[in-house]
Amino acid sequence: MDLPLWSPIFSQIEKTAMLTNIIAKVEQFAKQAQTQHEHIYAKLFEASIQSAKENNYPVAAVIINENQEIISLGRNQSFYPQFASGAHAEINAVNAYEQQTKHKANTMITTLEPCLMCTSRLTLSTIEHVYYMQSDPTGGGISTMATAPADFKNLASKMTFQKIANHPKAQEIASMLYNLGEQIWQKNIADIKK
Ligand SMILES: [Zn+2]
């Protein structure tokens, strides 16, 4: 007998447990934040939690200026309050940033490797440097850049994409957000595609 891919009751309990665990970790992380980057990470985690509470994939992205100040923050809002397939964290952050013409910034930090759609969008934007905390081997556009169309690959070659590898505490939380996000996403996408 094939087991069902998704068991709503079990997963709701599991989701609540995972989220409770993440919230506790993030509260501790925010309390202990000292560096400018740690304050940015705390903001990203808090925004990700907000997405998870809404039953969206917990991902957040910021665009920062040369003083390391957040000038735009986006979080995933692709399934709730209403279905919006393009409302990923990175795209929301870029859209908000592009409306603020007075700002000039080129650096994004995100909790998760941008997906194929967001990576394509970033290559078309003014963003030049993308830092992400967690790899996404099954959905990431950076891991699969080698197979991108030539024009995108060419634009991407002028950018830097870098995994944040020097902060184990932040990476641990990003990894927990990813594990929770994959669960939420599989359920949401199954509902849409059935
Ligand atoms: Zn995306």
pLDDT digits (tens, 9 = 90+) for 104-119: 779 999 999 999 999 9
The confidence score (pLDDT) of residue 3 equals 46
Cα–ligand 1 centroid distance for 68 (angstroms): 23
Distance 63 CA to ligand 1 centre (A): 15
Q: Tell me how far the alpha carbon of residue 57 lies from the centroid of ligand 1, in angstroms.
A: 10
Measured distance CA(192)–CA(194) in Å, rounded:
6
- DSSP 8-state assignment for residue 64: E
CA of 112 to the centre of ligand 1 (A): 9
List Cβ neighbours of 22 (8 Å cut-off, separation of 6 or more). 45, 49, 52, 58, 173, 176, 177, 180
Q: Which residue has 């059935």 as its token pair?
A: 194
Distance of CA 58 from the midpoint of ligand 1 (Å): 11
Maximum alpha-carbon separation in the chain = 60
Report CA(60)–ligand 1 centroid distance (Å).
10
The separation between the first and the last C-alpha atoms of the chain, rounded to the nearest angstrom, is 21
Give the chain's residues under pLDDT 50: 1-4
For residue 1, the CA-to-ligand 1 centroid distance in Å is: 35
Query: What is the total residue count of the chain?
Result: 194
121 C-alpha to center of ligand 1: Å? Answer: 9
Do residues 178 and 134 lie in contact, with contact meaning Cβ atoms separated by under 8 Å? yes
Q: Alpha-carbon distance 25 to 27, whole Å? A: 6
Before 168, cis peptide (omega within 30)?
no
Rounded to 10°, the helix 8-32/36-53 angle is 160
What is the Å distance from ligand 1's center to 97 Cα?
16
pLDDT in tens, 110-152: 999 999 999 999 999 999 999 999 999 989 999 999 999 999 9
Phi-psi region of 39 (alpha: psi -120 to 50; beta: other; left: phi over 0): alpha
